[in-house]
């Protein structure tokens, strides 16, 4: 008598980001969404890459405590301008300031993803750095873009999947969805390693 396959563990996205939810839904995999209660304040002198990795894992672990049987995905993105972390601006004024700092510069968007399953003891974290070169933007271009897009919930104020693409000279990445907020190639790799069967 052959054994029937073990039932698939539920998948939970530990994020309230609509961008991450849209990206994960591309995999045609049923999943729930849970809000991770994690303090996102950088530690003094913490590098943007380390911050993104730490927060992705902290989010996945926080949600895994509440859903111990599930495979939980946590993710975080920090814009890295010469070693300085740029978070979500939150306001128009801060977005203007961020884009003025970034014009003519290369910014690394450090996008980390972690997968945790408490029941099986599975835990992996990885990072997909995306190198983004900004055009030398005028103040008028910055103002027009912000009024049109209002990207105040996006790290570094740059929403590449929308009008933000017009601010850029180049994007270099080995995981094309990383800039939007969830590196799906790495996410798929981790889900398979955690025993999730992808459609």
What global pTM score does this model have? 0.89
Exposed/middle/buried for 104, CB within 10 Å: 0-12, 13-18, 19+?
exposed
Ordered by start, the domain boundaries in the chain are: 11-193
Structure confidence by residue, pLDDT tens digits, 161-195: 788 899 999 999 999 999 999 999 999 999 999 99
- Candidate list 76, 80, 126, 175, residue with the active-site label: 76
Structure confidence by residue, pLDDT tens digits, 19-33: 999 999 999 999 999
Q: Estimate to the nearest angstrom the gap between the alpha carbon of 199 and the chain centroid.
A: 23
DSSP letters of 145-156? HHHHH--TTSGG
pLDDT higher than threshold 90 for residue 87: no
| Class (C level, CATH) for 11-193 | alpha beta
User: Helix (H, G, I), strand (E, B), or coil: what is residue 83?
Assistant: coil
Dist. CA 175–CA 177, nearest whole Å: 6
Identify the DSSP state of 72: E
139 is catalytic: no
Q: Are 73 and 11 in contact (CB under 8 A)?
A: yes
């Amino acid at each position: 008598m052959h054994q029937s396959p073990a039932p698939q563990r539920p998948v939970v996205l530990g994020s309230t980001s609509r961008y991450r939810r849209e990206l994960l839904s591309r995999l045609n995999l049923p999943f729930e969404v849970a809000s991770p209660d994690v303090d996102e304040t950088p530690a003094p002198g913490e590098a943007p890459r380390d911050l993104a990795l730490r927060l992705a894992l902290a989010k996945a672990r926080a949600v895994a405590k509440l859903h111990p049987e599930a495979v939980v995905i946590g993710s975080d993105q920090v814009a890295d301008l010469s070693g300085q972390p740029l978070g979500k601006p939150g306001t128009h004024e801060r977005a203007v300031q961020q884009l003025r700092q970034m014009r003519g510069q290369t910014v690394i968007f450090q996008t980390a993803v972690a997968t945790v399953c408490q029941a099986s003891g599975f835990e992996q974290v990885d990072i997909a750095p995306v190198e983004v070169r900004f055009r030398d933007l005028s103040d008028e271009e910055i103002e027009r873009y912000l009024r049109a897009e209002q990207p105040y919930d996006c790290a570094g104020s740059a929403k590449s999947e929308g009008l933000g693409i017009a601010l850029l000279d180049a994007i270099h990445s080995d995981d094309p969805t990383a800039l939007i907020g969830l590196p799906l190639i790495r996410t798929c790799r981790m889900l398979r390693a955690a025993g999730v069967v992808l459609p």
